[in-house]
């Protein structure tokens, strides 16, 4: 029956989508397709208009303008592409707030081959879970101190609370901080076992291309 075949097809499509094996729909590819058309059509129309208006000199002018626009666009996009690839400068790191630091950390983990799950929505604060090909698991928390009052609130074990997931005892807990951890923080972490502190200096090295293994994390 047609209705039955339609239902079977819908179920098959739903299963393929759940497995990530079903291709994108029109609404998924349409914006990119329209952008590609405009990227080709707009320069062509511009060159045609300049040629009709100014002749050969218009074509030369148009080519120079397009080359300048392409160069500027590349220079503007290069930092964005670099950050998406998990590479940040020290100045870029210094401008991050806590959610931004979590995004940067997620990108750096993925850059190094870790599979990352963002637990921030469930935890109510920035938190990441990561696993690598060797089966190592990370529970990543964040500490971003901006004021003396905040330093008092976030000092000690607050950023290191357990996530209450099964198998949490196997996790290597990492706390990422843009600044410097206090001596009390270092002592507290050393007594916990499986807790690693990643300070601003190490973070800059990691953002510059070093891996966590190069930094001695995790072990």
Digit-by-digit pLDDT tens for the chain (219 residues) are 445 666 666 666 555 554 445 555 556 556 666 666 666 777 777 778 877 787 777 777 777 777 777 777 677 678 888 899 999 999 999 999 999 999 999 999 999 999 999 998 887 889 999 999 988 999 999 986 554 434 433 444 444 444 334 445 578 889 999 988 888 888 888 887 778 899 999 999 999 999 999 998 876
Q: Is there a contact between 134 and 172 (Cβ–Cβ < 8 Å)?
A: no
State the pLDDT at residue 7: 63
58 in helix, strand or coil? helix
Ranges of beta strands (E only) in 41-191 are: 115-118, 128-131, 137-143, 172-177
Pairwise CA distance, residues 132 & 116, whole Å:
9
State the pLDDT at residue 1: 47
State the pLDDT at residue 94: 92
Does pTM surpass 0.85?
A: no
Pairwise CA distance, residues 179 & 94, whole Å:
9
């Amino acid at each position: 029956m047609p209705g039955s075949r339609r239902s079977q097809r819908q179920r098959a499509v739903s299963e393929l989508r759940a497995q990530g094996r079903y291709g994108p729909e029109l609404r998924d590819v349409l914006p990119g397709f329209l952008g590609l058309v405009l990227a080709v059509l707009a320069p062509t129309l511009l060159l045609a208009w300049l040629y009709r208006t100014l002749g050969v000199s218009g074509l030369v002018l148009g080519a120079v303008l397009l080359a300048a626009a392409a160069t500027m666009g590349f220079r503007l996009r290069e930092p964005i592409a670099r950050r998406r690839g998990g590479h940040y400068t020290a100045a870029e790191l210094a401008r991050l707030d806590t959610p931004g630091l979590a995004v940067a950390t997620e990108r750096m983990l993925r850059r190094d081959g870790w599979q990352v799950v963002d637990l921030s929505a469930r935890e109510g604060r920035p938190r990441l879970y990561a696993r690598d090909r060797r089966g190592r698991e990370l529970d990543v928390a964040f500490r971003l101190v901006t004021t003396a009052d905040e330093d008092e609130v976030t000092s000690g074990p607050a950023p290191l609370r357990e996530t209450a997931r099964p198998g949490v005892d196997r996790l290597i807990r990492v706390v990422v901080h843009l600044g410097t951890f206090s001596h009390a923080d270092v002592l507290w972490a050393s007594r916990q076992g499986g807790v690693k502190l990643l300070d601003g200096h190490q973070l800059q090295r990691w953002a510059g291309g070093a891996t966590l293994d190069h930094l001695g994390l995790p072990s």
